[in-house]
Amino acid sequence: MMTKDLAYYLNLRYRVELIPDEDGWAAILPDLPGCVAAGDTAEEALALLEDAKHGWFVSCLQHGDMIPEPQTTTQLT
């Protein structure tokens, strides 16, 4: 049986929603509840989302919480 560790989850391709707003950009991972980031540019929001995703996974693994697998592939909207 394969152990699903941090590296496993970081290599999965989760769908990303990238949304412009009046203050910049929001980036969301819909499959990971609460995993969001915002930045002045789309690139900044996406970079911050990668940091947020890493922290989200680490927290779940440390607490034994379930991590959902991606429902769809990555796309920018």
Q: What is the pLDDT of residues 17-73, one digit of tens each?
A: 999 999 999 999 999 999 999 999 999 999 999 999 999 999 999 999 999 999 965
pTM for this structure? 0.85
The domain ranges of the chain are 6-63
Closest to 70 in 3D by CA, of 55, 53, 52, 46: 53
Rounded-to-integer distance, Cα 42 and Cα 39, Å: 7
User: Taking residues 2-6, what's their average pLDDT?
Assistant: 85
Q: In the CATH hierarchy, which fold is given to the domain comprising 6-63?
A: Double Stranded RNA Binding Domain (3.30.160)
